[in-house]
Amino acid sequence: MTTTTTAPPMLSLRNGVAGYGPTTVLDGLSFDVHPGERLAMIGRNGVGKTTALRAVMGLVPLRSGSLHFLGQDIAKLQPHQRADLGLGYVPQTRDIFPSLTVEENLLAGLKRRPRSALDEAYTLFPRLAERRRNGGTQLSGGEQQMLSVARALLGRPRLLLLDEPLEGLAPLIRLELLRAFAQMAEQTGIATIIVEQQVDEALQYAQRAVILDHGTVVHTAPANELLNDGDTLERWVGMAVH
């Protein structure tokens, strides 16, 4: 007799409810991420995408619902404890230290790893190697984003949460970043959730997508299927892809 086993999800949010003050933003949100998976999370402005990532990271408390990561209940853990377990987060605002150089910013992400680990970041983002002595403020928007992502990666997360990493960047830089993300995913086996307004680019990067509306998942589909489903995108995201 043969048995088929499906690998359990690495992250699982069930019926998550969260908000700010009297406002409920996440309203029964459920989704899974599988090991090594690239998941796109899309939806109109204000539907709760950033709040969802913040709730996973522990920056917004869950009022109810359950959250498991690598088999462990993490709903009550502090953000730094979740980071230690393997969750990495690159917030929408690129939170690099502007007064520090590229290299100093990266050193701040090393935690207990040797300095030689910086080579991983420089291999993935050669642009950062060229600019290692430059101050954070001397970087272009794309380079700042690379630095944010590279620094998060040095903590060796198993799941990286990327909040609109392409926002405000020129098309060529977006392409370069997406290529670096794909290379990173292939080389490290890391799983990613990418939140994006640039829906077509996110769907090209991702394998699967969840669409949020009013703090809940309204549609789940393989990314390549959704790319060709203009009706669904028009309905829930309000934009056609080209």
Of 45-53, 61-69, 74-82, 200-208, the segment contacting Mg ion by CB under 5 A is 45-53
Among 46, 126, 168, 230, indicate the residue that binds ligand ADP (CB under 6 A).
Answer: 46
By beta-carbon proximity to ligand ADP, the closer residue of 4 and 45 is 45
Work out whether 16 is an interface residue with ligand ADP (CB under 6 A): no
Closest approach, Cβ 167 to Mg ion, in A, equals 9
CA–chain centroid gap for 131, Å, is: 25
- CA angle at residue 38 from 153 to 181, to 5 degrees? 45
Number of Cβ within a 10 Å radius of residue 175? 14
By beta-carbon proximity to ligand ADP, the closer residue of 48 and 86 is 48
Work out whether 45 is an interface residue with ligand ADP (CB under 6 A): yes
By beta-carbon proximity to ligand ADP, the closer residue of 51 and 145 is 51
Q: Do the beta carbons of residue 153 and residue 184 sit within 8 Å?
A: yes
Closest approach, Cβ 206 to ligand ADP, in A, equals 17
Strand stretches in 1-151, DSSP E: 11-20, 23-33, 38-42, 64-69, 72-73, 87-90
Of 6-14, 48-56, 175-183, 225-233, the segment contacting ligand ADP by CB under 6 A is 48-56
Work out whether 50 is an interface residue with Mg ion (CB under 5 A): yes
Of 49-57, 129-137, 148-156, 221-229, the segment contacting ligand ADP by CB under 6 A is 49-57
Strand stretches in the chain, DSSP E: 11-20, 23-33, 38-42, 64-69, 72-73, 87-90, 159-163, 191-195, 208-213, 216-222
Work out whether 47 is an interface residue with ligand ADP (CB under 6 A): yes
Work out whether 198 is an interface residue with Mg ion (CB under 5 A): no
**1 Cβ contact partners less than 8 Å away, ≥ 6 residues apart:** none
Nearest to 220 by CA among 208, 205, 238, 230: 208
Using CB under 6 A as the criterion, what x/- string covers residues 193-232 for binding ligand ADP? ----------------------------------------
**135 Cβ contact partners less than 8 Å away, ≥ 6 residues apart:** 98, 99, 100, 101
**203 Cβ contact partners less than 8 Å away, ≥ 6 residues apart:** 40, 42, 209, 223, 224, 226, 227, 241
Interaction partner, residue 45 (Mg ion, ligand ADP, none; CB < 5-8 Å by kind): ligand ADP
Which parts of this chain interact with ligand ADP (CB under 6 A)? 20, 23, 25, 43, 45-51
